[in-house]
Amino acid sequence: MRIAVLKESAPGETRVAATPETVKKIVALGHTVSVEAGAGEGAAAPDQHYKDAGAEISADGGIAGADLVVKVRRPTDSEIAKIKPGAGFGDYLWFGLPIYDDRFRMPPAYKEQDTADTKKFIYTCAAADIATESTHDHKWVKFDRDLQPLIRRAMETAWSRGFLTFSRRIADYHIAGFFLGWEVPGIFDVEVQVRDLCLRV
């Protein structure tokens, strides 16, 4: 598979969709990674680090020939026009696992459109789907669940709400990013510790 890592263009956006360490692991699996020149500058990852990890560096990230295109923010219209059919970035949703929410001991599911800049569909499963205890109790809570059925449920919900019109085939979509965070509305001091994190694909 050929993967293109694009440079972020949104004002103030310093993240990059794949670090050199991630690229190294992907290349070790036999895939080809092309990184847009300067993509990692804002994240203190110069082009040379990507070259050392086994990536190619190109002016546009090799977007036209990519089987998978990754970017933190939504690609620009000009970038989308270059993506070949089936490259897996025609659309996306935000899928969440509720590790902590100050408002609820066991957060309910959340299924709504993002009111911020992306306007994409947000699907956060209920805490009861992934745990039997609450992180509010200040003790270790184990989260252990096969995510595929939950992701499928999220996509089916999105389709029923008129999102993800790019395709209704699960195989046309890919996991493009992983974010670890928690909901803390208002001004609160919260500390969350995570140990033995493991995601098997």
More reliable by pLDDT, 38 or 67: 38
**This prediction's pTM:** 0.55
Within-domain flag for 76:
yes
In a domain, 182, yes or no: no
Last residue of a domain, one of 21, 48, 82: 82
CATH number of the structural domain spanning residue 47: 3.40.50.720
Domain for residue 140, yes or no? yes
**Residue 195 resides in a domain:** no
SS3 track for 73-137: CCCCHHHHHHCCCCCCCCCCEEEECCCCECCCCCCCCEEEECCCCCCCEEEECCHHHCCCCCHHH
Residue ranges making up the domain that contains 109: 93-172
How many CA atoms lie less than 13 Å away from 10 in the CB half-sphere? 13
Q: Are residues 149 and 98 both part of a single domain?
A: yes
Give the per-residue pLDDT at 195. Answer: 84
Residue 185 lies in a domain: no
| Domain presence at residue 200 | no
H or E segment at 28? Answer: helix 20-28
At 162 the pLDDT is 92
Assess if residue 122 is contained within a domain: yes
17 vs 79: CA distance, rounded Å: 15
**C-alpha R_g of the chain:** 18
Highest mean pLDDT among 3-17, 86-100, 171-185: 3-17
Q: How many structural domains compose the chain?
A: 2
The residue whose two tokens read 């098997």 is 200
Among candidate residues 18, 51, 82, the one where a domain is terminated: 82
Claim to verify: residue 45 and residue 112 sit in the same structural domain: no
Higher pLDDT, 174 or 121: 121
Q: Quick one: pLDDT band at residue 170, thresholds 50, 70, 90?
A: confident
Encoded tokens for 165: 């019109």
Q: How far apart are CA 188 and CA 120, in angstroms?
A: 27
pLDDT in tens, 88-138: 545 788 898 888 888 899 999 999 998 877 788 999 999 999 999 998 898
